[in-house]
Structure 1
Amino acid sequence: MNTFILRLFVYVVVVCPVLWSAHAHKNSPLTHGQEHTHYKEPPCAICPRHGRCVPKVQCPAHVRASSYNPACHLNGAVGVCCFTGSGHAAENERKARAATLISAEDVKSSHSQSRQKLSQWITLAAKLLEHSMHTIVNTTSPSYGHHLSVVTHDERAATLGRGGLLNLFTAQELKARQAISEDDLALGFTEHTDGPFCPPQPSCSALNRYRSIGGECNNPSSSTWGAVLTGFERLLPPNYSDGTWAMRTAKSGAPLPSARTVSSALLLDGSHPSSTHNMMFMQFGQFIAHDISAGVIFNAENGSAISCCMNNGEDILPPELQHFACAPIEVATDDPFYGQFKQKCINFVRTQIAPASDCSAGYAKQMNGASHYPDLSHLYGSSEEKLSSLRAPGGLLRTFSDYGRELPPLTERKECLAVKEGAACFESGDNHGNQIISLTVLHTIFTREHNRLAKALSGLNPGWDEDTVFWETRRLLQAQFQHIIYNEWLPLLLGPQIMKTFELSPSAGYSSAYDPHTNPSLSAEFSAAAMRFGHSVVSGRIVIPSPQMGGIYETISIPELMFHPTRMRLRHFLDRVLIGLSSQPMQTVDPFVTEGLSRYMFHGGNPYGVDLAAINIQRGRDHGLNSYNQYRKLIGLDMYTDFQQFAPNAARRLVSVYEDPEDIDLWVGGLLEEPIEGGILGPTFANIIADQFARHKKGDRFFYEHGPDVNPGAFTPIQLEEIKKVTLARLICDNRDGIELVSMPPAACLRDDLPGNEPVPCDSPRIPAMDLSKFRES
C-alpha cells in the first residue's frame, strides 16, 4: 500500500505537478493582475486528459483567463498542454454556444439589411468615378507603383470580395440586434449563422497525383483550406474597434498615432550589415513571401487604383469623396521628410474581405490572392487561365529568347515604369515578378530550372506526353523549392532550438508529421507583420560586381530597380547580380529601414516615394492585428507595462508616439526584439513564423516529405534522397548564364567571405547535384 501511494505521488508531482501543486503550494503564487494566479512548477512530462504538448503559440486558448494549460517539456523547450488545438475556445464552449439559436426573423432581417448596405456602398463607389481626377490614382504618382505591387488580375476576387462584405454586414447587423455578442464573434461562435453569400465549393478527387493550381482540394475534408482567394486565419481573435472590421484604437479609446508618425520616429534609416547573412537570403525570403502571401486590395468599380488623397498627396480626400475602402495615412505638416514636399497624405486602401467557406457570418478575414502553400504559384499561376498563358509546348514554360538567353516571357500589360521601346517587362505567375530586379533574377532561375528538368525528364521517359512532362516537372520543382526552404533558409532564420521545438528540420526519410486537422492557411499575423521582417534587412543599394575587372561595376539604389527590369537584357547582368547577392551582406533585423523603402519607394520621377514602413503598420491595423504585447503573452513572455522596460533609445522614441505600451503595433515591437540564439529574429516573430511553416508541413498533404500513405504524388525513397541533395547554390549553378559566374558559395544564403563558405566551382562535389536517372519511370 505504501509503495502504491509513493508511486502515485511521483506520478502526480513529476508527470503533471500542476495537479498537485495548485493545491499544495497556495502560499507561493506568482500573480499577474487579478484574473490569473499561476504557480511556478516544473513542467509536466506527460500531459493529462490526453492533452498535446505544443509550443504556446500553437494553443491560443492558453491566454484566456479561464484556461487550464499546465506547462510541459517539448524538445528541449517548455510548451503547454493543449486541449483546444489551434482554436480560441474549448470544444465544450463551442457546443454550448451552438445550442443558442438565433431567431429566423433576426437572420432574415440581417440578410435583407446586408444586401441593402452592399448595394448602397457599390452605388456610392460607382459615383466616385465621376470625380476620377481625385478618386483614381494618377499613373505618375508613387502610389501607382505601390498599386502595381499588390494588384490582382483574377476576376473571381471581386465577386468573392462582395460576398465577404455581405456576410460581414450580416454579422454587424446581428451584433447590433444583440443576437450575437462581441465574444461570440471573437471566438468564432458563428458557424450556425449563415450569411447571405456562399462561395462555390471546389470539385475534388482524392486520388489526384498533383497539387491543384489554386491550392484547393489539398485536404479532402476541408477542400478550401489554403486555397487562393480564401481568408487569412488568426493566431489571436482580431482587435477591431467594433468587433468586426473597424481599425484598432488605442487602449484609451483614442485613435492610434498615424502610421507615418510612428515610422518617422521609430524606424530610422541606418546601416547595420549582417556579419553572416547575405542579400541572397533576403531575396530568397521575398521570393517565398510572394509565393504564399498576396493580400487582395480593393479596386475602384472600373478596376482602377483607388485614391484616398487629394492632388497626389497634398491632403486627405474629404469623406464624401473617399471610397469605403480608404484608410489614408495622415502625414504631419512638420514631417521631417514629406513636409518639404507639402505632402499630408499617404495613400492606403484596405484589403478585400474573403467569405468563409461554410458561408457563416463573422468578423472580417482578409483575402489572400495566392495559394497559402509553398507551391511556386508565383511561377505557375493560381488559375487555369494564368497557367495556360504561361505554358509552352513540350511541357515547358514560355520564355523570351534574348539572343539565345532564356528570360521570363514578356508581358503585354503596362506594369513596369519604363515603357520606352526595347524596355523589357516580364510576365510571372503572380504579375509581381518585376517589383525589383533581383526578384526577377530568381524568377528567371526557377523558370530555367523548370525547363531544364522538363527536358531531362522527357528524355528519360519518352513515353510521357507533354502534359505528364509538365506536371511531373512541376511536382519535382515544388519539392526542390520546399526542401531549400526547410533545409537552408529556415535554419538560418530561426536557429537550432526553434527548428527543434517546432520539428521543422527535414526527416531522415518520409515524414510522419501530417495531421488532417491542421489548417495550413496563413495567419494574418504572419502575413501582415512577422514575415515583413524582410523589409528591415534590405540594403539601400545593390552592389553589382565586375568579376573580370576585380571591382564593382555599379551600385544601384533600390528604388531605381523597382519595376525597372530592363537591365536583365544586358548579357552580363544576371551573373553579376547573383555574384553580388552572394557577397553583399544584408542588414540585420532591427528597427532600421533604409530610406529607399521609407522615403523613396516607387518614386518614379517624383522627388519622394511611398513609405513602406508606414504601410506595414497600417496594414497590420487593417488586418485587425492585436498589439505587440498580446503576442508576447501568446508566446509566453511577460507583457510590457512601462516604456522604460525597453532599451533607453527605444523607450524614448516609443513614448514620443504611443500613449501606452499596450498600443505598440506588432510589426514595430517585433523589430525591437533582440535575436534568439542562432537565429536573426526576436522570439515573437520567430514563434509566429515557425508556427506557420510547421502548419505548412503538418497540414499540406502534398508536402514533399510525406509518403504514399498520405501523399498521392509521393516520391519514392530513392527519389526523395536525391531531392534532399538539392541546394539553392545548385539551382543557381545549373541555370546561370555562365558568362562570368563560374563558382558559388556552397551555402548560398551566407556571405561568401565566411570561413568554409568560399566560392567553389559549380562542378565541385560540395555543390551536389541530383541524379535524375532515379526519376525514370519503371
Structure 2
Amino acid sequence: MGRTSTLVTKLLLLLLTSLTFSVEILRNIGMSKMHDFHIQAITFCLLGSFIGDESILDNLLGDIEFLKFTGLLSHGADPITKNFRCISANCCDQHEWCGFWAGIGECETNEKWMIGNCQISCKKCDDVNSTTAAPVTESVGVPTSDKGNSTLPRLKLRRGNDPLFCADMLRLNGSERFQEMVRNEAIVVFEDMMMNNQMMGCFREQESGDCSRNLCFHAMYRTLDGTCNNLRSPLVGAAGTAFNRILPAVYEDGIGTPICKYTIRLGSRPSAREATRFLLSSPQLVTSGKWNMLLMQFGQFIVHDISKTSLLPADRCGSCTDIPGRCFPIKVETVDPRFGCVRPPCCLFFTRSSPLCGTGAQSKREQVNENTAFLDGSAIYSSSLPDSLRLKDSKTGMMRITFFNNHVMPPFNPHTCFGPNNCNANLDVGDNRGTLFLSLVGVHAVFLREHNRIAQQLLKLNPTWSVERVFQETRKIIGAMIQAITYKEWLPKILGIRYNSLMGNYTGYNPNVNPSIINEFTTAAMRFGHGMITEFYERVDEHGKSIPHAKLRFDQGVLKPAKLLFEGGIEPVIRGLLMMEVKKPQRVTSSVTENMFGSTDLASTNVQRGRDHGLGSYNDYREFCGLKKALTFDELSSEILDPNLRNNLQQSYKHTDHIDLYVGGLIEEPVVDGLVGPTFACLIAEQFRRLRDGDRFFYQNPEIFKPDQLAEIEKVSMSKLLCENLKGFSRAPKDGFAVMKDAEAVACSSLPSVDLSKWSSA
C-alpha cells in the first residue's frame, strides 16, 4: 500500500509539473502553437508510456533525464538556464533544449525569442559560421528526384496514435506502456514498399507523416527505419528513400538507359568486363605494412549499416537477356579466358537496381536505399520493425543468440546443422549480407555479444527498467560506439593526411545538412573496399601462431558458416585479421574477378552498377573535388603514376571524359598516409561529414548523452571491444587496426573501459 501511495504521489507530481511546464513555457518564452502541441504530445505520451515503470518516473522527477523540467521552471518567471553552451560571449545557447527546439522549427516560427536565446542552434551568430572548418562542398539541400522540384521523395507513413488516446489506452494496460511507444515510432510502412518492389518493379513514392505524434520517443531514441531523425523533414535519411546525388544523373537517353547500353555507343567505353581485365584485376598483392585486415572488414560492416541498394527481381534476367529497364547484361569477349564462350554472345548476368516509382520514364531514373543512411547499428538491429522484433529477446532486452559448440553466435536453427559437411545454418542478423564471409560474421558476432554484455549490466544497475528501456538504451550506446570507432580510428586511416582538412570540425547537429547516402559514394567510392579483399586468410591460435592447414582461400569462406561453427569459432578468424597486413585497394584480386559466386566478377559488377545508376565520368568528379579536369591521359600523371596503366586506360577508353568513376577513382595513387586516392577521399569525406553533421543522434551532439556518459563513450576503442567479447583474448594491438605484433601488443586490462554506472538511475 505504501509503495502504491508513493507511486501515485509521483504521478500526480509529474502531471502537475507537466501541466505547469506547458503553461510556463508558453507564458514566459512565447513558444508557438506548434510547439504547444509538441509539449502536449510529450506530456501525455510520457504520462501514458511510463505508468507502472517507477524508475522512469524517478528519472523524470529527479535525474531529469528526459525533459529536464526543473531546469525550465527553477527560476519562476525566467525559465532560462544561463549560458548552457557558449562559443563566445555573444554566441550562446542559453538553454539545454535549444537544439531540440531548433530541430522542430522554432527558429522560424518563434524567431524573436529563439535568436535571442539560442544563437548557436539557430546558426545566427558570426562565431558559428567562422568556426566551421568543413569545405564549401558540404552545403547540401534535400534529395532531388528530377521532378521539377527540390522536395524530398514523399513516402506514405502509418498514422501514429494520438497522444491523448495513447495515454488513456496505456493507463488501462500498463504492461504495454513502453512497447506501444516503440510500435508508434516505426511509422514508415517499409514492408509494403518491399512488396510493391516485387510486384511493380519499383519503389512506390508515398506521403509523409507527423513526428509530433510520438515526440517523446523521438526526443530520446532513434527509430529503426530512420524516420523523424530530422524533425522538420521526417524522411531525410530514412530507409526506403532515394539516394542523394552530388551531380545529376547521366543516361544514354537522358532518362534511364545506361551509357553503353547500345552497341553503337560501345566505342566510347569498354565493356565493364574488359575494363576489369585490362585495368583492375591483378594477382599482385601490395600491402600497407602498417594497418591490418580488420580495417577492411570493419569497413564492409559499416557500409552495410548505411547502405543497401534495392534490386529488381532477378528471375527474368538470363545471362544475355536484355529486358529494357530491368536487365543490363555485361558483354564478354569470346576470347575471355574465364568467361568467354564458344557460341557468342557471351555475357555475365546483371539485374538493374530498382528505380523510385515515377522516375525513369518522364524524369531521370533514381535508385533506392533499403537501409537507414545513419550510422546507427542497423546492420545489427535491422531497419525494419518486424525484423528487429525477430532478432531481439522480448523478455530481456538482449539480442537473440545461439550457443553452439561452445560458441556464442548469431541466431540460427541448430537442427539444420549436423556436422561440418552437413550444415545449412542460416545465421540471422540485421542485414542479410552479414554472412557473406566468415570475418564479416565475426564482426557481427562481436557487436551482438557487446550488446548483450551492456544490456546485462544496465539491467543490473537499473533493475526496475522495462525490457524495452534496456534494449533502447543499449542500442543507443552501441550506435555511439560504432560512430566513435568509425570517426576516431577507421576513417582517419582511409583519408590519411587529408582527414582534418576534408572533414572539418564538428560544431553540432545541423538540420539543414542532408545525411542521405550519396549515389556516387555507395556505387563507386565506398566500393574501394573490394580492392582490399585478399586471396588467402590466416586463422591464428591464442598464442599468435597460424593454425596448420587452416588458411582459407577467399572463396572457401564465402557463405560457409560451418567453418566457424565446427572449426574454432570467430576467434581464430579475427586474430588472423589482426595479424595480416591490409591489402592496398588500387587493384582487385583475381579471387573476386574470376572466382566469386560462380559466373560473377565483382569488379565488373561495380563498373556496370555505376552505369546502371547514371554516374558521371571520373573527370566530372575530379572537377567537383578540386582537381584539374584532364584533357589528355598524360594530365592524369599526378594521380595515376604508372605510365603503363595510363596507356592501358587510353587504349580502353579513348577519351578522358569516358572513364568510369569506379575505374578512375580506384586506380589513383593513395593520398599521403591514406589508402585511397584524392577523388575517392573527397567523396568519402563528403558522405561521412554529412552523416556526422546531419544526424541528430550523432554521439558528440551534447543533447544525446549527458557529459559524464559522453566522456565514457570517448573511451571506446576497437581493441577494447575485441578484448571484451573474444574468448582467450588477453592482449591486443593498442590501435585495433594496426598489425598485431607481439612486441607492441598491450594487455587488455590496460585499455580504458566504459563505466556503465554513468547510466544508473540510482
Q: TM-score, normalised by structure 2?
A: 0.71
Quick one: which amino acid aligns to residue 614 of structure 1? S
Match of 1:156 in 2: 193
1:521 and 2:503 equivalent?
Answer: no
- Residues 689-704 of structure 1: pairs in structure 2 closer than 5 A: 689-704=684-699
1:761 and 2:747 equivalent?
Answer: yes
Match of 1:563 in 2: 559
Match of 2:733 in 1: 745
Shift of 1:338: 1.9
Query: For residues 771 and 666 of structure 1, what CA distance do their matches in structure 2 show?
Result: 45
* Aligned residues of 2:197 and 2:203 also touching (Cα < 8 A): no
Match of 2:226 in 1: 215
* Aligned residues of 2:371 and 2:383 also touching (Cα < 8 A): yes
Query: For residues 233 and 717 of structure 1, what CA distance do their matches in structure 2 show?
Result: 34
Distance 1:306-1:559 versus aligned 2 partners, 3 A rule:
farther
Match of 2:756 in 1: 772
Match of 1:66 in 2: none
Q: Secondary structure of the equivalent of 2:582?
A: strand
- Residues 401-412 of structure 1: pairs in structure 2 closer than 5 A: 401-410=403-412
Shift of 1:286: 0.3
* 1:353-375 CA-partner distances (Å, limit 9, x unpaired): 12589x99742221111111111
Match of 2:622 in 1: 632
Query: For residues 368 and 375 of structure 2, what CA distance do their matches in structure 1 show?
Result: 17
- Unaligned 5+ runs, structure 1: 1-49, 56-71, 100-152, 168-196, 310-315, 505-510, 604-608, 709-713
Quick one: which amino acid aligns to residue 771 of structure 1? D
Distance 1:382-1:199 versus aligned 2 partners, 3 A rule:
same
- Residues 190-269 of structure 1: pairs in structure 2 closer than 5 A: 198-199=206-207, 201=209, 205-208=214-217, 209-249=220-260, 254-255=265-266, 256-269=269-282
Distance 1:496-1:548 versus aligned 2 partners, 3 A rule:
closer
Quick one: which amino acid aligns to residue 682 of structure 1? G
Quick one: which amino acid aligns to residue 365 of structure 1? E
1:284 and 2:286 equivalent?
Answer: no
Shift of 1:323: 6.8
Match of 1:665 in 2: 660
Shift of 1:635: 1.0
Distance 1:412-1:516 versus aligned 2 partners, 3 A rule:
farther
Shift of 1:443: 0.7
Shift of 1:651: 1.7
* Aligned residues of 1:160 and 1:199 also touching (Cα < 8 A): no
Q: TM-score, normalised by structure 1?
A: 0.70
Shift of 1:246: 1.2
Match of 1:353 in 2: 355
1:296 and 2:304 equivalent?
Answer: no
Distance 1:668-1:251 versus aligned 2 partners, 3 A rule:
farther
Q: Secondary structure of the equivalent of 1:545?
A: coil
- Unaligned 5+ runs, structure 2: 1-123, 151-189, 637-641
Q: Secondary structure of the equivalent of 1:327?
A: coil
Quick one: which amino acid aligns to residue 750 of structure 1? A
Quick one: which amino acid aligns to residue 299 of structure 1? P
Shift of 1:649: 1.2
Query: For residues 341 and 432 of structure 1, what CA distance do their matches in structure 2 show?
Result: 34
Match of 1:38 in 2: none
- Residues 643-722 of structure 1: pairs in structure 2 closer than 5 A: 643-646=633-636, 647-708=642-703, 714-722=704-712
* 1:389-421 CA-partner distances (Å, limit 9, x unpaired): 10112101100011443110016999x9x9964
1:273 and 2:280 equivalent?
Answer: no
Query: For residues 437 and 508 of structure 2, what CA distance do their matches in structure 1 show?
Result: 36
Distance 1:657-1:469 versus aligned 2 partners, 3 A rule:
same
Match of 2:389 in 1: 388
Distance 1:549-1:451 versus aligned 2 partners, 3 A rule:
closer
Q: Secondary structure of the equivalent of 1:274?
A: strand
Quick one: which amino acid aligns to residue 653 of structure 1? N
Query: For residues 137 and 732 of structure 2, what CA distance do their matches in structure 1 show?
Result: 46
* Aligned residues of 1:54 and 1:80 also touching (Cα < 8 A): no
Query: For residues 503 and 341 of structure 1, what CA distance do their matches in structure 2 show?
Result: 55
Q: Secondary structure of the equivalent of 2:240?
A: coil
Match of 1:584 in 2: 580
Distance 1:413-1:252 versus aligned 2 partners, 3 A rule:
farther
Quick one: which amino acid aligns to residue 760 of structure 1? V
1:474 and 2:475 equivalent?
Answer: yes
Match of 2:101 in 1: none
Match of 2:715 in 1: 725
Distance 1:52-1:611 versus aligned 2 partners, 3 A rule:
farther
Match of 1:10 in 2: none
Shift of 1:243: 2.0
Query: For residues 128 and 532 of structure 2, what CA distance do their matches in structure 1 show?
Result: 30
* 1:579-637 CA-partner distances (Å, limit 9, x unpaired): 111110111131x111111010113xxxxx41100000001111110000000001111
Equivalent pairs, count: 584
* Aligned residues of 2:202 and 2:355 also touching (Cα < 8 A): yes
Query: For residues 323 and 617 of structure 1, what CA distance do their matches in structure 2 show?
Result: 19
Distance 1:682-1:198 versus aligned 2 partners, 3 A rule:
same
Distance 1:626-1:676 versus aligned 2 partners, 3 A rule:
same
Query: For residues 719 and 411 of structure 1, what CA distance do their matches in structure 2 show?
Result: 38
Match of 1:602 in 2: 597
Quick one: which amino acid aligns to residue 657 of structure 1? S
- Residues 3-22 of structure 1: pairs in structure 2 closer than 5 A: none
Query: For residues 166 and 726 of structure 1, what CA distance do their matches in structure 2 show?
Result: 38
Query: For residues 517 and 630 of structure 2, what CA distance do their matches in structure 1 show?
Result: 27
Query: For residues 478 and 81 of structure 1, what CA distance do their matches in structure 2 show?
Result: 27
Query: For residues 610 and 651 of structure 2, what CA distance do their matches in structure 1 show?
Result: 20
Quick one: which amino acid aligns to residue 527 of structure 1? T
Shift of 1:559: 1.0
* Aligned residues of 2:517 and 2:687 also touching (Cα < 8 A): yes
- Residues 119-138 of structure 1: pairs in structure 2 closer than 5 A: none
Distance 1:164-1:219 versus aligned 2 partners, 3 A rule:
farther
Quick one: which amino acid aligns to residue 308 of structure 1? G
Identity of aligned residues (%): 34
Quick one: which amino acid aligns to residue 666 of structure 1? L
* Aligned residues of 1:51 and 1:81 also touching (Cα < 8 A): no
RMSD: 3.5
Quick one: which amino acid aligns to residue 737 of structure 2? C
Query: For residues 683 and 155 of structure 1, what CA distance do their matches in structure 2 show?
Result: 41
Quick one: which amino acid aligns to residue 206 of structure 2? C
* Aligned residues of 1:424 and 1:569 also touching (Cα < 8 A): no
Distance 1:462-1:670 versus aligned 2 partners, 3 A rule:
same
Match of 1:427 in 2: 428
* Aligned residues of 1:232 and 1:524 also touching (Cα < 8 A): yes
Query: For residues 631 and 323 of structure 1, what CA distance do their matches in structure 2 show?
Result: 28
Match of 1:8 in 2: none
* Aligned residues of 1:251 and 1:662 also touching (Cα < 8 A): no
Distance 1:674-1:98 versus aligned 2 partners, 3 A rule:
closer
Quick one: which amino acid aligns to residue 717 of structure 2? T
Quick one: which amino acid aligns to residue 317 of structure 2? S
Distance 1:751-1:306 versus aligned 2 partners, 3 A rule:
farther
Which of 612, 615, 635 is the matching residue for 1:622? 612
Match of 2:568 in 1: 572
